[in-house]
Each structure stands twice: as C-alpha cells, then as structure tokens.
Amino acid sequence: MKIGFIGLGHMGAGMAGSLIRAGHEVTVYNRTRDKVRPLVALGAKPGNTVADACTGEVVFTMLADDAAVDGVVSESNGVLGSLARGAIHISSSTISVALSESLSQRHAGAGQGFVSAPVFGRPDVAASGKLFVVSAGPKQERERVSALLEAIGQKVFTVSDRAPDANLVKLSGNFLITSVIEALGEALALIGKGGIDRAQYMEILTSTLFGAPIYQTYGKLLVERRFAPAGFAAPLGQKDIRLVLAAAETLGVPLPIASLVRDRFLRLISQGGEGLDWSAIGELAARDAGLTPPGVDAGVG
C-alpha cells in the first residue's frame, strides 16, 4: 500500500521501519528533518510537509501528546485538509479519549476514515516489529488496514467499532503498569528495610505468582535503582495518568491508585526527577521509609 508516516521518534522510527520492510511504499515526515534520513536509507520516500505524507491510502501518526497530534491534524495543510476522501488516518499515539473521539468525528465529517491503534512496547520492541497493537474503529476501516497493523506488531487486538475505546484500553494499561511499579516499590521498601535481599526477593516473586514481563522488567529497574537514562520519561508517565484520570472523571469512575500515582509523579518531578525513567516513582516508598541515603540517588527525593 501507499502510505504516509508522521512522527519519527524512538517509537515511530521503529514502526515506520517495520512497514517499509513489509513492502509498503512509505512517505515519512518529521518536524525535525534529520530523523528522516535513516528511514530513507531503508527505502522510505522523504516528505517535506505533513501534506506530503497524506497522499496515499493511509497515514499513521505517532506523536508525543494531544497537542502534537491535534496540531498536525488541524493545521492548514494538515492531515484533515490533505487526506483524500476515503483515505484513513491511523493514530498510534497515546492520546486522550476525548481527542480520539473528536478525531473520529472530524474525519468522518470529511469523508475520511479513522482507526485508533495505540501500541504497548518500548522502543527496542518497536524496532523489531514485536509491539502489541490495540485497535478500534469502524469494522470496514479496520479491515482495510489490518495488514499494516500486523506489520508493526506481533499481535493485534481488536477492541470495538468505536475508535476511542482503543485509547481507553491503552491508557488503562499504562495505569496498570504504574500500579505495579508503585506496589513493587512499597513491597521492596518493606522487605528492604527489614534487611532482606531485594534482588533475591524479586527472584522469588517472578519465579512464583508474579511471573509476568511487567514484574521482570520493572522489578529489575527498581532493585538496581537504574532510573537513568529514561526509557520512558517521568513527564510522559505523568501525562498518561492525567489522561486516564480525565477519562475516568468523564465516565464517573474513582481510581484511588491512579490518584496516588499522580501524586507520586508530581512529587518526583517537583523534587528534581524530571529526567528520570517513570519507574523512579517506585523509589519514593523507600525514601519515605528513610532508606535511601540522600545524595546517592540525586533526583529521587
């Protein structure tokens, strides 16, 4: 298929690469131009404008936040103005349920399609085409793009015919990840202050009931207190919790653990941890227990 790809950050670059490798004709666009080059080396066509990426049947967007996505969609000569009738916008960014709803309606109003397809996985997973893709949107549109979604992920999960549902699933998933970080942080503070070896403790957990990738990945980061460089920076985690709380407020659902995690992010960032990985919120329980020697972990206060 002839497609476009907008947003070549850590995640987007890997996804666009997978699409190229799968044989699609991909025009790539990124606001800062130098990120285009490695993709062109793989066979992509360079786009100079957002509109250049919107000349095919499908355009992907993979951008940092609501403002960035809404920007490229709504600006003059943006996605909405450039995409042909009948063409489809696939949004893979982690955006708000409300923006996803708005994009659905505006694209439909313009005779265009909209599929929401956020992904789970870190940059290395994106690069190897092994992401998990959560997809929602009108059936016909989802089917038209299914080969594309399969190209970027190891597995594609279909949620429903309403595009914003995929965003709610993605946001709730990120909330669950933070709940694991926080709970592990508390448990490690407890047993750590009790004098028990933290690495051995994580080994027990992941060898028994908690043998999931999420516990392995974050348990290791927490045990080693390896919060820099950030794989996924704290302010992005804070943003996702803000979005999940906003969606929950609209739906009328109290989420006490999400509120706790929100406060952890605010504190981490206010105390200087802006540049750390989001898993650094899991160190705050140890700090509250008087465990961490000040200075040892600058930035986790």
SS3 content of the chain, % helix, strand, coil (to 5): 55, 15, 30
**Nearest to a copy of itself of 197, 224 (CB atom):** 197
As measured in angstroms, the least distance from the Cβ of 29 to a copy of itself is 29
As measured in angstroms, the least distance from the Cβ of 139 to a copy of itself is 15
Which of 114, 119, 122 has the alpha carbon at shortest distance from 155? 119
Q: What are the phi and psi torsion angles at 9 (to 5°)?
A: -75, -165
The answer to whether 176 contacts a copy of itself (rule: CB under 8 A) is yes
Among 74, 102, 146, 179, binds a copy of itself (CB under 8 A): 179
Contact status, residue 77 vs residue 107, Cβ threshold 8 Å: no
45 a catalytic residue? no
The answer to whether 23 contacts a copy of itself (rule: CB under 8 A) is no
The answer to whether 125 contacts a copy of itself (rule: CB under 8 A) is no
Helix (H/G/I), strand (E/B), else coil: 120: strand
Question: What is the C-alpha to C-alpha distance for residues 204 and 210, in angstroms, rounded to an integer?
Answer: 9
The answer to whether 254 contacts a copy of itself (rule: CB under 8 A) is yes
Q: What's the chain's length in residues?
A: 301
Q: What are the phi and psi torsion angles at 45 (to 5°)?
A: -95, 130
Q: Which helix (H) or strand (E) holds 222?
A: helix 213-224
Which of 215, 209, 211 has the alpha carbon at shortest distance from 183? 215
The answer to whether 296 contacts a copy of itself (rule: CB under 8 A) is no
The answer to whether 251 contacts a copy of itself (rule: CB under 8 A) is yes
Site string for a copy of itself, 198-237 (x = CB under 8 A): --xx-xxx-xxxxxxxxx----------------------
The answer to whether 248 contacts a copy of itself (rule: CB under 8 A) is yes
**Nearest to a copy of itself of 28, 245 (CB atom):** 245
Peptide bond just before 235 cis, omega within 30 deg: no
As measured in angstroms, the least distance from the Cβ of 34 to a copy of itself is 32
As measured in angstroms, the least distance from the Cβ of 10 to a copy of itself is 18
Beta partners for 216?
Answer: none
The residue annotated as part of the active site, out of 45, 170, 193, 220, is: 170
Question: What is the C-alpha to C-alpha distance for residues 156 and 133, in angstroms, rounded to an integer?
Answer: 5
As measured in angstroms, the least distance from the Cβ of 195 to a copy of itself is 7
The answer to whether 289 contacts a copy of itself (rule: CB under 8 A) is yes
Q: How many residues bind a copy of itself (CB under 8 A)?
A: 77
Question: What is the C-alpha to C-alpha distance for residues 107 and 73, in angstroms, rounded to an integer?
Answer: 10
Options 61-69, 85-93, 104-112, 254-262: segment touching a copy of itself (CB under 8 A):
254-262
Give catalytic residues, as residue numbers.
170
